[in-house]
Every structure is written in structure tokens, then in C-alpha cells.
Amino acid sequence: MLRRLNAPAAPLPDWIPNSWTLLLPGTALWALAFYLPLSGPLSRLEEALASGPLSENTQQLVLVASSLLLAVAVGALFNLAVGWALGPSWGTSLGLMAALYGLFWGLASGRGDRD
């Protein structure tokens, strides 16, 4: 007779999705919302790269890649935190609203400069 060696796994809490792919849309939206605000503090990295031996194209590539990675990491952590506090679907919905909010204010400030 065969016996099961492992006990059945406990069900996951509601705030943890069954598949991590469910977190990708919310993480992408939060990363988009955080991209510009988090790009500002990277000026010290830009200064350090400017004094280094890298070419200008490589410096720009490193700067863009680091700001994208920072935005995705913060977006993922924030999406997990909001998903834990309010539920996974709320994390994605609030990410969409934050990204649209940033787009709206970006367009509004650009329109105000033309007047």
C-alpha cells in the first residue's frame, strides 16, 4: 500500500494569488506610475556615470535600465502591499488610477506651459 508522504498543503490566503502572473498587470501599472518620481533621485548615479570611463550611450543605457529596474521593484512591492491590504484586484485598479493620474497631470502641465 502506498501512503502519502506529504500532508496536503493548506489553502492560500485570499490576498495571495494562485499564480504570480496575476500580479504582472498591477506591477506594470505601479512601475509606470512610479517611474518618473523615482527617476529624480538617480541624479547621483548620473553624476557618477558622467565621471566614469563609459561612453555617453552606455551611460544613458545604464541610467535608463537602473531607473526601470527600480520602478519595477518598487511597483512590485507596492502592488503586493496594496494587494495584501485591500485585495489583489484593488492593487491593480489603484495602479491603473495612479498611472492615469500621472498621465493626466503630465498632459495638464504641458498644456499650461503653452498658454
Please count the structural domains in the chain.
1
User: What's the rounded Cα separation, in Å, for the pair 57 and 10?
Assistant: 51
Domain membership of residue 8 (yes or no) is: no
Of 8 and 35, the structure prediction assigns the larger pLDDT to 35
> Could you tell me what percent of the chain has a pLDDT over 90?
3
Q: What is the pLDDT of residues 50-87, one digit of tens each?
A: 888 889 899 889 888 988 888 889 888 888 888 778 87
Domain membership of residue 115 (yes or no) is: no
Residue 36 corresponds to which cell in the numbers above?
518618473
Q: Is the pLDDT of residue 5 over 70?
A: no
Q: Is 5 left (phi over 0), alpha (psi -120 to 50) or beta?
A: alpha
Domain membership of residue 33 (yes or no) is: yes
pLDDT bucket at 98, cuts 50 / 70 / 90: confident
Residue-number span of the structural domain to which 46 is assigned: 28-110
**Is pTM, for the whole model, over 0.75?**
no
pLDDT at res. 103: 75
pLDDT bucket at 22, cuts 50 / 70 / 90: low
Domain membership of residue 45 (yes or no) is: yes
